[in-house]
Amino acid sequence: MDDCCGVPDAGRYDAVFGARFARDVARRYRRRGLTGTERRIVDFVTATGIDGASVLEVGGGVGEIQLELLSRGASSAVNLELSHAYEAEATALITRAGVADRVTRLLGIDLARAPEAVERADVVILHRVVCCYPDYELLLAAAAGRARQTLVFSHPPRSWLTRWGVAFENLMFRMGRQSYRGFVHPPEAMIDVVRRHGLDPTFRSRGFAWSVIGATRPQAVA
């Protein structure tokens, strides 16, 4: 579930994020490491305490964030994905890192619609995913419910530039008869959802293309 996408449907995701896209992402990670936004996410999670933590990433693509967190002390990682195209590249990266016994990849689970289908984790991550979903409240509520300790997500800044850009992309998808759509949700409304589900937004970092919001649970729930 990488980048901004439309209503959950594996075929729709595969049509946009195919094998070539997955290869490009994996190649970039092997050559350059994490992007700036990914580093902000990893640094925030590390600062909240990652040693021995379990990680759940929604739409983690080839899994570069998970691999970095595992290298920093996380105990395990679960990736939820709706696109099948990432699996070959993700498997190669996992094997290269020697963490096959610590990573689980699950296909076809829509967290917003079936949150109970996956176990709770200490850390839940949604990078370039909230903008994929028309109902951000449903998705963030489900993600918050799965997070024992920390929730972090990225989103495009709600500016005239990003709103115009996403609208233009959606027009192109529509003209190309693609069902994929992107969304620029209101940040304060998303933060409110997180608060209402018992998490305290303690970190906000604004970037040109992606902003990051990190939240922690004041008292961890077992």
How many CA atoms lie less than 13 Å away from 50 in the CB half-sphere? Answer: 24
Domains of the chain from N-terminus onward: 10-216 (3.40.50.150)
The residue ranking higher by pLDDT, 45 or 3, is: 45
Separation of alpha carbons 58 and 56, rounded Å? 7
Q: Which residue has the higher pLDDT, 94 or 168?
A: 94
Instruction: Examine the pLDDT at 162 and tell me if it is beyond 90.
Output: no
Report the pLDDT value the prediction gives residue 222, as an integer from 0 to 100: 45
Higher pLDDT, residue 11 or 115: 115
The yes-or-no verdict on residue 118 having pLDDT over 70 is: yes
Average pLDDT of the residues in 50-67: 98
Query: What's the average model confidence in pLDDT over 158-167?
Result: 68
Report the pLDDT value the prediction gives residue 158, as an integer from 0 to 100. 77
- Predicted confidence at residue 16, as pLDDT, reads 60
pLDDT score of 47 more than 80:
yes
pTM: 0.87
Q: What is the pLDDT confidence band of residue 173, given thresholds at 50, 70 and 90?
A: low
Average pLDDT, the chain: 87
User: Which pLDDT does position 4 carry in this prediction?
Assistant: 42
CA angle (209 as vertex; 174, 166 as ends), nearest 5 = 15
Rounded to an integer, the average pLDDT of 90-103 is: 98
Does 7 score more than 60 pLDDT?
no
pLDDT of residue 164: 67
Whether residue 147 is predicted with pLDDT greater than 80 in this model: the reply is yes
Name residue 152's beta-bridge partners.
125, 214
